[in-house]
């Protein structure tokens, strides 16, 4: 196991049975389940969101907020906690003891960032070793945490010189952000390290933003209008979706404001044939239909389990579309040869603009992922382009801050695709002023904003007739 460069790799993940609990009941404590979730993330067995979805049923529902706090917290603070843990340990744990490393990270997180009394955090950490049937580690864990209690200030001051600790971000990402966006570096770091605001999208086909905002006020939920998307409301305090009026009836969805710009920019009109090429979980699919329910919409998604999310999202909103589970770059597998008027291509990416929503990126993302994703994006872009009508429009989007995936990807595409041209982002919605993000060599780059939208990239392309 190599904790230094985060390259844990294993075919083993902590299943329900491998985590032996003294509690014979099916429900475990939030902390026990957090150990599983964090271990599996360290072992690269899946993302934080998939691990949480899989394991949160193992705790009582009133413990889910605590489970999330622990898991999101450890991921968000991972660069710091990892440095502290490695400093405290004489020898890193072996890979088979990744669960113990997760226990240690959770203990350090409680001691540093939570209100848990110190003695309780230490005792719970030691107890966690016992529950894992690794009693041999209890003395070590006790000694390590007690030392941290005594020397925390000195240790943190010493480690602060490391960029990963100073900025609470993997060193390679610090370097990339600084290299590509020196003027926006501080904003990117600060916004990526905080809790994101809760932004909702009002379904304007059902209710106006003003009316919905007034309904929220009646329930004591205060919000501000998003400045860039006509359907966005930022809630001053996050609430459970069940508390949002008419959520189940599809009057409102949770979606970041930058993501809401897609449907605004593509501006689908009745009768148009529209493709949403990388569609799950379907946030933008639903928004396209809210803009016009009379479009002929096809949504393509590679992952069957993610396809189910599109289905349930559309079901809640009361819309339907042709859903196809396929690799968008494998046209033989899904395309019937009929061209589309408009295409939304929201490609898989490094998600470096949404680290605050997916903080496990700090653990799992590697520099090599950029090159791998650029190749996948290029293949999808080139193939899907052939399904666009001459004169039709394609909106290319990512939630990445890496120029390789954004302006450079488009640069390469335009250099090789003779029938493609970049057009102004508001070509399809000329009444909308583009006042967000910054112009880059092709398209516009948005950076994550402390109390506003996520990091995103958009470029609008037209196929020459």
Q: Which of 129, 199, 325, 399 is catalytic?
A: 399
Shortest distance, position 443 Cβ to ligand SAM, whole Å: 16
Question: Which of the residues 379 through 398 are near ligand SAM (CB under 6 A)?
Answer: 380
Cβ nearer to ligand SAM, comparing 46 with 348: 348
Give 289-304 as a DSSP string. HHH-TTSEEEEEES-H
Query: Torsions phi, psi of 296, nearest 5?
Result: -100, 100
| Dihedral angle over CA of 141, 142, 148, 150, nearest 10 | -170
Per CB under 6 A, 250 contacts ligand SAM: no
Q: Say what angle helices 64-76 and 48-55 make with each other, to 10 degrees.
A: 160
Q: Which two tokens stand for residue 311?
A: 């289905």
Per CB under 6 A, 301 contacts ligand SAM: yes
Task: Find the binder of ligand SAM among 180, 306, 366, 378 (CB under 6 A).
Answer: 306
Measured CA angle at 99 (ends 125, 130), to 5 deg? 45
Task: Find the binder of ligand SAM among 30, 145, 265, 278 (CB under 6 A).
Answer: 278
Is 325 part of the annotated catalytic residue set?
Answer: no
Please name the helix (run of DSSP H) or strand (run of DSSP E) that holds residue 110, with its range, or none: helix 98-113
Per CB under 6 A, 46 contacts ligand SAM: no
322 near 329, Cβ under 8 Å? Answer: no
Give the number of other CB atoms < 10 A from CB of residue 62.
8
Cβ nearer to ligand SAM, comparing 38 with 384: 384
Query: Torsions phi, psi of 323, nearest 5?
Result: -105, 125
Cβ nearer to ligand SAM, comparing 282 with 443: 282
DSSP 3-state of 288: helix
Give the number of other CB atoms < 10 A from CB of residue 52.
20
Cβ nearer to ligand SAM, comparing 103 with 349: 349
Give the number of other CB atoms < 10 A from CB of residue 386.
12
Shortest distance, position 83 Cβ to ligand SAM, whole Å: 31
Per CB under 6 A, 307 contacts ligand SAM: no
Question: Which of the residues 54 through 93 are near ligand SAM (CB under 6 A)?
Answer: none
Helix then strand count (H, E) for the chain reads 18, 13
Could you tell me which stretch among 74-82, 165-173, 224-232, 299-307 binds ligand SAM (CB under 6 A)? 299-307
Task: Find the binder of ligand SAM among 281, 359, 443, 452 (CB under 6 A).
Answer: 281
Per CB under 6 A, 455 contacts ligand SAM: no
Shortest distance, position 340 Cβ to ligand SAM, whole Å: 15
Per CB under 6 A, 329 contacts ligand SAM: yes
Cβ nearer to ligand SAM, comparing 224 with 330: 330
Strand partners, 317: none
Residues belonging to the binding site for S-adenosyl-L-methionine are 278-284, 301, 327, 346
Measured distance CA(388)–CA(15) in Å, rounded = 45
Residues annotated catalytic, as ranges:
399
Binding site for ligand SAM (CB under 6 A): 259, 278-284, 300-303, 306, 327-329, 346, 348, 380
């Amino acid at each position: 196991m190599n904790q230094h460069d985060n390259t844990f790799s294993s075919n083993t993940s902590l299943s329900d049975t491998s985590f032996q609990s003294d509690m014979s009941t099916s429900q475990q404590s939030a902390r026990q389940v957090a150990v599983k979730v964090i271990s599996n993330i360290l072992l690269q067995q899946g993302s934080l969101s998939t691990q949480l979805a899989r394991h949160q049923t193992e705790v009582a529902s009133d413990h889910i907020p605590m489970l999330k706090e622990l898991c999101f917290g450890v991921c968000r603070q991972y660069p710091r906690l990892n440095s502290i843990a490695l400093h405290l340990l004489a020898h890193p744990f072996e890979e088979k003891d990744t669960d113990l490393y997760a226990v240690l990270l959770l203990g350090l997180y409680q001691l540093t960032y939570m209100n848990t009394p110190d003695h309780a955090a230490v005792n719970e950490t030691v107890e966690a070793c016992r529950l894992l049937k690794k009693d041999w580690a209890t003395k070590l864990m006790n000694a390590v945490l007690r030392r941290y209690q005594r020397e925390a200030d000195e240790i943190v001051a010493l480690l602060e010189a490391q960029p990963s600790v100073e900025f609470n971000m993997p060193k390679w990402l610090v370097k990339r952000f600084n290299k590509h966006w020196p003027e926006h570096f501080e904003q990117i770091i600060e916004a990526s390290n905080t809790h994101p605001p809760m932004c909702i999208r009002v379904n304007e086909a059902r209710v106006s933003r003003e009316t919905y905002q007034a309904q929220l006020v009646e329930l004591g939920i205060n919000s501000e209008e998003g400045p860039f998307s006509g359907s966005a409301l930022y809630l001053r305090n996050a609430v459970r979706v069940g508390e949002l009026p008419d959520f189940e009836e599809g009057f409102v969805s949770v979606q970041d404001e930058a993501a809401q710009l897609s449907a605004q920019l593509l501006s689908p009109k009745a009768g148009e044939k529209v493709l949403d090429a990388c569609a799950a979980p379907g946030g933008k699919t639903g928004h396209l239909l809210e803009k016009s329910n009379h479009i002929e919409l096809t949504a393509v998604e590679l992952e069957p389990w993610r396809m189910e999310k599109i289905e349930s999202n559309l079901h809640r909103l009361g819309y339907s579309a042709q859903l196809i589970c396929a690799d968008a770059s494998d046209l033989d597998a899904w395309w019937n040869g009929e061209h589309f008027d408009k295409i939304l291509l929201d490609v898989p990416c490094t998600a470096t603009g949404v680290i605050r929503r997916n903080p496990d990126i700090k653990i799992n993302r590697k520099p090599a992922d950029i090159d791998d994703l650029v190749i996948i994006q290029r293949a999808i872009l080139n193939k899907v382009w052939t399904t666009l009508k001459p004169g039709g429009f394609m909106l290319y989007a990512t939630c990445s801050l890496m120029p390789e995936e954004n302006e450079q990807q488009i640069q390469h595409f335009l250099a090789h695709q003779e029938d493609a041209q970049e057009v102004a982002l508001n070509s399809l919605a000329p009444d909308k002023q583009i006042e967000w993000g910054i112009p880059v060599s092709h398209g516009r780059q948005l950076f994550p904003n402390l109390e506003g939208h996520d990091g995103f990239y958009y470029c609008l392309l037209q196929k020459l007739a």
